[in-house]
Amino acid sequence: MTPLPWDLIEEGFHKSLEYSFKLMDFPPFDGKWFAMFDNYIYGDQNAVRFYLGTLPFAPSDEESLRAGIQEFVKKYDWALTLPSEWMRGLDRYLLRLGALNSEPLGRTPKELWAYILRVSAVGVEYFRPNIAISVTQSVLYRSLLGFIKIFTSESALSIFDRITAYCETKTSLVNRELKRLAELARTEKNPAGKTLADLMRDTRSDALVASGALDGYPSFRKAFSVFLEDHGHREVEFDPYIPTWTEAPWVVLDNVKLILSVPARDDNIQVKRNASEAESELFAILPEDLHLFFREIIRLVRLYTELDDVEHYQTTRLYLPIRRGLKALGAILAEQGVVGDPMDVFFARKVTLEASVNGTGSWQDLAEEIRANRDAYRLNRARSPEWILGEETNAASPGDENELHGLAGSPGIAEGLVFIIESSDDFASFPRGAVLVARTTNPAWTPLFYAASALVTESGGPLSHGAVTAREMKIPAVMSVRGVMNVLKNGDRVRVDGGKGVVYVTQ
């Protein structure tokens, strides 16, 4: 990430951590859960293990489950009301963002910085309960799997995977709309009789946008404009320094191309059917008096999965006003000779920028800091980060030299050729049937999953976007494979076992 957005995000994250831990009756945490080193974000694994390493309720048999249900329900009673309270906060947040997006911008650095801080403050207030949502999702997932194992150890993971694969997320909704755009591209023809799908296969997406060729397909053009109006805040990468779909609409067209490259299908119906069948299998072996408890746990698992996805979707609405304010501030700094490119303002640190804007710091010091941070960012972006901060080795996880070990993300086995995705610039080149390998994935990358045979990531876990989406789309996924971006290269043949969490290098 670039420094300035992280400074703003980190403040909101740790305020959310404090608020959420108090809500969940966790001990206070005074350190940094996340911190940036060399432009990469590291998490404190000691803190993760301390707070989340053990479940609050982990019965070993039916008797202890029955005995502890009331205490478990009492301990997490706030989880029943948090979703509706969060929705009320969402209404307020969206109204305030709407006002900020339409507010005329000031003309001085001080006025623009004040605007940016107001945007940040709105985001901090909205984000306060969001850590509680993520933590609760994790607790519910692990609890449900443990409860199922009490009654069927052999098929527990299969039942669990199928039940949790179905969820109506915001990402699923966006994907369905992308599919509709793809269908329009398949069928609509321009006056010369050429379908947009044929034109897209022969033309780079950025050239299509720049040339105005989409105007020859009015139905698609209208639907595309509505799509960007609704979802244009969607981030391509977590860092708001990278343009969103609004400013990089060709990325959406690359996603449509990916969908066009595979046969049309509706995975959602089959995934929903599989989930229903898995629930029937589970309830057939459960004592009848536990049905209500299990139905409620399953409901909450799905609800918190939806919430975790939609809170991310709504959080990134901040990117539009943040980019709007920082680009305007950067333009003034460029006029003053502080930066060469208005976007270089993203390489400032919050403390230094604020001091310069308020007259207590030196513009020259800010300029030097920005140049140094920009140069460091470019070097750091081109390298793989240390897996553990301070460790020089970045080797793959232990195992046979032809085995890479990670975490099981989505069950199944698939074999194919590796294709590494570094950024959205690689989308258009992704070959159908390849194994998608990336440092991490983003909800805006989901159409890649339609063309991929499997997913392997260097970071993340079973509840990360990549794993959840892979289960929904029924492709194997292995997460958190140490150093995989260095070990594998394009064209390597691998077999991905998502159930075991192992990647076998076969060629």
Identity of residue 74: K
Mean pLDDT of 140-164: 91
Closest CA to 414 of 434, 431, 430: 434
Query: Residues 407, 413, 418, 421: is their CA dihedral positive or negative?
Result: negative
Highest-scoring range by mean pLDDT, 122-131, 343-352, 391-400, 469-478: 343-352
Chain center to CA of 78: 26
CATH class, range 403-505: alpha beta
What local confidence, expressed as pLDDT, does residue 339 receive? Answer: 96
Question: Residues 212-258: pLDDT tens digits?
Answer: 999 999 999 999 999 999 999 999 888 999 999 999 999 999 999 98
Nearest-angstrom CA–CA distance, 136 and 8: 25
Chain center to CA of 136: 17
What local confidence, expressed as pLDDT, does residue 394 receive? Answer: 58
What local confidence, expressed as pLDDT, does residue 405 receive? Answer: 93
Question: Residues 49-100: pLDDT tens digits?
Answer: 888 888 888 999 999 999 999 999 888 888 899 999 899 899 999 999 999 9
Closest CA to 462 of 215, 142, 229: 142
Mean pLDDT of 427-452: 87
C-beta of residue 449 within 8 angstroms of C-beta of residue 475? yes
Mean pLDDT of 374-403: 79
- Categorize the per-residue pLDDT at 180 as very low, low, confident or very high, splitting at 50, 70 and 90: very high
Q: Which sequence spans correspond to the domains of the chain?
A: 170-260, 403-505
User: Where do the DSSP E strands lie in 371-470?
Assistant: 403-405, 407-410, 413-421, 435-438, 454-457
Closest CA to 309 of 445, 144, 94, 469: 469
- Categorize the per-residue pLDDT at 393 as very low, low, confident or very high, splitting at 50, 70 and 90: low
Question: Residues 329-385: pLDDT tens digits?
Answer: 999 999 999 999 999 999 999 999 999 999 999 999 999 999 999 999 999 988 888
Chain center to CA of 137: 15
- Order the strands of the 477-479 sheet from edge to edge: 403-405, 502-505, 493-497, 413-421, 435-438, 454-457, 477-479, 407-410
pLDDT at 468 over 90: no
- Categorize the per-residue pLDDT at 181 as very low, low, confident or very high, splitting at 50, 70 and 90: very high
Q: Whole-number mean pLDDT of the chain? A: 91
Which tokens hold the place of 464? 């990360």
Nearest-angstrom CA–CA distance, 8 and 332: 21
